[in-house]
Structure 1
Amino acid sequence: MTETSPAPETSPAPETSPEVTGTRAGRPRIPFDRRLAAAVQKVTGQALGPYQSAIVRIGFSLTWLLFLLREWPHRLELYGPDGPWSWDMGRQLIADNRSFTALMWSDGRLWFEIVYGLAVLSAVLLLLGWHTRAVSVVFMAGVLSLQNRSIFMGDGGDNVVHLVAIYLVLTRCAQVWSLDARRAARGRAGLGPAGPVLWTVLGGFLLAATWFSGVTGEWWLFVLLWVLWLGNALWWLVCRFAPGEPRTLLDVLANLAHNATLAVIMAEVCLVYATAGWYKVQGSRWQDGTALYFPLQLDYFTPWPALSDLLGGSGAMVLLLTYGTVIVQVAFPFTLFNRKVKNVLLVAMMLEHAGIALLLGLPFFSLAMIAADSVFLPTAFLVWLGARAARGRDRLLRRTPPAAEAGLPGQSRTGDGAGTRTLVG
C-alpha cells in the first residue's frame, strides 16, 4: 500500500451569478434582458439631459426675446396691420395651409399689441424658468402666431425657433437653472396660488380661443392644447391628493415624453447639418472652394465692408473656410460615436455660426443654431459653466459666503444652480 501525497490546496471556484454569463476582455457579459431592463429603467426613471434641455430653453427664449425687442419699432410693419402682407392676404394663405396664428382672430391694432406683448412676456418668463409648463405653452403660441402671420419674414433661424418652441412644451426643461428649480429645492414646488391661477386663466382663454378656432381651422392645435391643459390639471390634482403610485406613473410618462423629445431635437440638428452639407457638396461653387466669396460681395450681407473685403481678398482663407464648412457639416452626425471628436466639431460649428453673425449680419440665425447645437454640449462643461455663473452672480450681489467660494463645482448656496437635479418643469 503506497502512501499518497495530499492533494494541493486550491482556492474555491468563484460562484457565478446566474445573471452574468461568459466574459468579454476579462469583464462579465451581462445578458441582453438585463441590459434592456436597465435601459428601460433609465429612460423611464429620470428626465435625461437636465443641463442640455435647460441650455436649449435659455438659448431659444433669449434668441426670440432679443429678436422681438430688436424689431419692436418695426413690429407693425413686420407682423401687424401696417405690413405689406395684409391681414386679408394672410387669411387666404392660412386658409390653405391650416396653420395657427392668433393674429387672424382680429385685425385690430389693440389685439396685435396684446399678442406681441404676451410673446415678449412669455419669452422673459421662459428664460427665467417661472412655471415653465404653462409658460412654454404661451411661448409656443406666441412664436406660432407671429411667424405664421407673415411667413416671409425670417432668415432661416426662425424655422428652428418655430420647431423647438413646439418641442419645449413636451420637455422638463426647468430641472436646473430656473426659478422652478429654486422653488423645488426649497420644498415649495406646487405651493402658492400662482400656479392654479395661471392655469385657470389659461383655461378660460383656451375656451374662448376654441370658439374662434373655426376662423382658420387649426383644430389639431386646439386638440393638443386641451390635452396639455387637462394633463396638467390632472398632474396638479394627483400631486395634491394622490402622491403615491399615480404620481409615479405621471412621472414616468413625463420622463418618456421628455426623453423622446430630446432625442428628436438631437436627430433634427443632425438632419439639418447632414442635408445642408450634402446639398453643398453638389454645388459647383462649393466644389471649387469659392462659395464663401460671393455673399461677401453683397451689400445686404456685409455689415462690416472692410472686414468682408479683407477676408474675400484672401483666396486661401476663402478656400479653407468653404471646404471646412462642408467637411464639418457632413461629418458631424458621424462624430456622435466619438465624444472627443464630437466636441471638437461642436466648437468648430459654434465658431462658424459666430462668424456668420459677425461677417454676414445674421445674429438671430446664428443664435438659434448655437442654441440648437447646445443640446450636444457635455454635462461636465455645463456643470462647470453653471457653477462659474452662480459664483459670478453671488459676487456681483456681494452675498457669497466663504464656504461657497471653496465649494465643489456644481454646488450653489441657494440650491438653484448647477447642482440641483429636482425633476420639475
Structure 2
Amino acid sequence: MTNQPSPGRPSIPPAAAGAATEPDATHSTGQLSTEQRATAQHPTEQRPAAPAPGTPWRRLPATWAGAVSRGLAQVLARPLGPHQTAVVRIGFAFTWLCFLLREWPYRHELYGPGGPWSWDMARQFIGTNDAFTLLMWSHGRGWFEAVYALALVSSALLMVGWRTRTMSVLFMVGVLSLQNRSILMGDGGDNVIHLVSLYLVLTRCGAVWSLDARRRARAAATTPGARAYEGPGEPGRDLTGLVLWAVLGLALATVTLLGQLSTGWALVFWGLWAAHALWWAAVRHARDRGGPTEAVTVLDTLANLAHNGALLVIMVEVCLIYATAGWYKVQGSRWQDGTALFYPMNLDYFSPWPALSDALGSSGLMVMVITYGTVIVQVAFPFTLFNRRVKNVLLVVMMVEHAAIAVVLGLPFFSLAMIAADAVFLPTGFLRGLGARVGRGTRRLFPHRAPAVLPGPRSGDTGADAGTDTGAGTNGDPSTGTGANPDANPDPNADGDTDTRTRPDNGGAEASGATVPGTVGFRP
C-alpha cells in the first residue's frame, strides 16, 4: 500500500524520509533537523570532495601540477638542446683556435714570461685572487710552449668532438691558463669564452655532430644490439679512453703532490676524474648484467640535470650580456642623440677598411638608424624569448650586426664569440636541417664505400631490437650521428619539430651516457 501525504502535512522525499527513521532524539519529537531540512529542499546538491591526502600538489591547480611534473620529467629524463649545445661547442672552440693561430707570432709578448705583463707581476696579482693558470707553475720558455700547444690541440679536438668529456676539461684549462696569465690582453669576447669554457665542462656537448657520435653510430651498426660500444673491436673495451683517463689521473696526482693546485681546484679536478671512473664502472656493471641498473639510472639523471642546468646558465648569461649592454647604452648621451657609432668608425684602430668606414660615417641617417637600432635590439631581445617568431627575427638581426662589427670595426673574434653564444637560441628544426644539408654535401665531397656485409642479429635478439636506436641521424643518416628516435619527447626549442633522443656522451673511462644492449638509452 502506497503512503499518501496527509492534508496539511509537507511531503518528505524518500531520502529525507529514510533519514527521519534513524533513531535520534530530534526525530523522536517529529521535527526535522536543519541539515535534513536543507537536504529535503535540495536533494541533488552534494558537498565538494575533500582533497586526497598525501598529494604534494593538492594546493596547486591541476594545470600547474601537470606543468611542473612535465617540466621535471623533461629536465631529468634527457639532455635538452643537443644540437644547440653542439653549435656552442663548435663555435667557441673554433673561435679560440683561430685566435691562438692568429696570435702565434706574438704569443710571447701576449702571454710569455718575457711579455710586458711580466711573470713576477702576474704572480703577485694572482696571489690576491687565486686564479687558476698553468703558466704560474714555471717561468721557463719550454713550459710556456707546452701550455700554448695544449690550448691549440684541445681546441681543435673539442671542435671536431673527439673525447668531448676530456677535451672540454682541457679546453677550460687552456683558456684559463692563458687568459688569467695576462688579464689586460682580453676584450669582451674573451670574457665570454672564459665563462662558456667553464659551463661546457658540465654539458653533454658531444651527443651530436662529433666524432664521438660517429664512433657510437658505427659501433651500433657493426654490432647489432650493442649500443654501449665505444668503438670497433671487442665489445665494451675502450682502450683509448682507459689510457687517457689513467694518464690524466697520473698527471693530476703528480701536481697535487707537488702542491701546485689550490684546495678548491684540486677538489674540482679530482671530482671530475672520479665521476668519469664511477660512470665507467656503472656502465660496465650494467653491461655485464644485461640491462640498466639503478646506479646507471641515477648517474644518467644527475648528468642530465647538470647538462640542462649549464645550458640554462648559458642562455641566462647571453640575456644578461645584451640587457646590461643595452641599458648602459641608454644612459649615454651619444647613444641618446644617435651619434655613438660615428666615433669608433673614425678611429684608426677600429677602421681596417677606411673607405667603408668613411662611407658609413658620412651618412647621418645611417649612423642614427644603426645607433638606435642597436640599442633597441639589445634591450628588447631578452623579452622576445616569450615569442618564438620575434625571437628568431631579432636573432638574425643580432648575428648580422656582429658580422658587420667583424668587418667594419675589425673585431672578428669578439663577433665570432657572440655569434656562437647567440646560436644557443637557434631553433632545433633549423639546426637539424642544416646538419642534414652539411652531411649530404660532405658525402658528395668525400664519398665512401658502404660495407658489403653487415653481421646479422645475434641469437636471442629480436628483429625489432636489433634494428632500433642505431645512432643514425636524420632520415637514417649515420653521418650526422643524432641518434634519431621517432618516439622521443619533443624539444621545447624545436619550433614544432620533434627532437631526437640523443644518446649521451662517450663512455669508457670518460663520464658519458653510453647505453646498454637491449635498451634505448638509460632513462629514469
TM-score (norm 2): 0.72
* Structure 2 residue aligned with 1:263: 312
Q: Distance in 2 between matches of 1:307 and 1:118?
A: 39
**For 1:278-293, what aligned pairs fall within 5 Å after superposition?**
278-293=327-342
Q: Which residue, out of 389, 394, 408, partners 1:345?
A: 394
* 1:105-184 map, 5 Å: 105-184=137-216
Q: Deviations over 1:179-202 (max 9, x none)?
A: 111122233336421111111111
Partner Cα distance (1:412, 1:313) in 2: 54
Q: Name 2:254's counterpart in structure 1.
A: 208
SS of residue in 1 equivalent to 2:186: coil
Cα distance in 1 for partners of 2:202, 2:482 equals 22
TM-superposed deviation, 1:286: 0.2
Measure, in 1, the Cα distance between the counterparts of 2:442 and 2:280: 33
Match of residue 192 from structure 1: 238
Task: Quote the Cα distance in structure 2 between the aligned partners of 1:346 and 1:400.
Answer: 40
Specify which structure has the higher proportion of helix: 1
Deviation (angstroms), 1:346: 0.3
SS in 2 for 1:47: coil
| Equivalent residues of 1:386, 1:417 under 8 A apart | no
Tell me the distance in 1 between the aligned counterparts of 2:449 and 2:197.
35
AA aligned opposite 1:268: E
Q: Secondary structure at the match of 2:209?
A: coil
Aligned residue in 2 for 1:11: none
Q: Deviations over 1:80-102 (max 9, x none)?
A: 12211111011001001110000
Q: What's the offset of the Cα at 1:261?
A: 0.5
Match of 1:88 in 2: 120
Counterpart of 1:422 in structure 2 is 503
**CA separation in 1, counterparts of 2:130 and 2:271?**
20
Identify the range of structure 1 (154-163 vs 240-249) with the bigger mean alpha-carbon deviation: 240-249
Is residue 384–residue 409 contact of structure 1 (8 Å, CA) maintained in 2? no
Q: CA distance change for structure 1 residues 390 and 329 in 2, over 3 Å: closer, same or farther?
A: same
- For residues 473 and 305 of structure 2, the distance between their equivalents in structure 1, rounded to whole angstroms, comes to 29
1:107 is paired with a residue whose SS is coil
Distance 1:336 1:111 in 2: 46
Deviation digits for residues 109-134 of structure 1, max 9, x if unmatched? 11111111011010011011111111
Instruction: Return the alpha-carbon distance in structure 1 between the equivalents of residues 333 and 243 of structure 2.
Output: 59
In the TM superposition, residue 419 of structure 1 has moved relative to its aligned partner by 5.5
Which one of the candidate residues 252, 268, 272 is aligned to 1:228?
272
Cα deviation per residue 1:50-85 (whole Å; 9 max; x = unaligned)?
000000000000000000111111111111122111
Residues 402-421 of structure 1: matches in 2 within 5 Å? 410-411=474-475, 413-418=477-482, 420=484, 421=502
Q: Distance in 2 between matches of 1:253 and 1:346?
A: 31
CA distance in 2, matches of 1:211, 1:272: 40
Whether the 8 Å CA contact 2:213–2:482 is kept in 1: the answer is no
| 1:321 shift after superposition | 0.3
Q: Which has the larger radius of gyration?
A: 2
The answer to whether residue 111 in structure 2 is matched with residue 79 in structure 1 is yes
Q: Out of 251, 256, 263, which is 1:219 matched to?
A: 263
Give 1:418 deviation, angstroms. 4.6
Q: Which consecutive residues of structure 2, in runs of 5 or more, have no partner in the other structure?
A: 1-60, 221-228, 231-235, 287-291, 451-471, 485-501, 506-511, 513-524
Aligned equivalents of 2:371 and 2:476: distance in 1? Answer: 44
Residue identity matched to 1:225: F
Aligned residues: 390
Quickly say closer, same or farther: Cα 1:382–1:213, change in 2 above 3 A: farther
User: How much has 1:41 moved relative to structure 2?
Assistant: 1.2
- In the alignment, which residue of structure 2 is the partner of 1:253? 302
Q: For the structure 1 residues 400 and 279, does the alpha-carbon distance in structure 2 shift closer, same or farther, using more than 3 Å as the test? A: farther
For residues 389-424 of structure 1, what are the alpha-carbon distances to aligned partners after superposition, in whole Å with 9 as ceiling and x for unaligned?
Answer: 1011001113498xxxxxx99335335345552222
Report the Cα distance in structure 2 between the residues aligned to 1:235 and 1:418, rounded to whole angstroms.
Answer: 22
Task: For 1:94, give the aligned amino acid.
Answer: I
Q: Which 10-residue stretch deviates more, 387-396 or 75-84?
A: 75-84
Q: Among 389, 397, 401, which residue is 2:438 paired with?
A: 389
Large movers: runs of 4+ above 6 Å = none
TM-score (norm. length: structure 1):
0.88
Contact 2:162 2:210 in 1 (8 A): yes
The change in CA–CA distance for 1:419 and 1:308 in structure 2 (over 3 A counts) is farther
Equivalent residues in 2 for 1:271-420, closer than 5 Å:
271-399=320-448, 410-411=474-475, 413-418=477-482, 420=484
Instruction: Give the aligned residue type for 2:157.
Output: L
Q: Which letter does structure 2 place at the counterpart of 1:223?
A: L
Percent identity of paired positions between Structure 1 and Structure 2: 62
Deviation by residue 1:255-286 (Cα, 9 ceiling, x = unmatched): 00000110000001000000000000000000
Corresponding residue SS for 2:436? helix
Is 1:65 aligned to 2:100, yes or no?
no
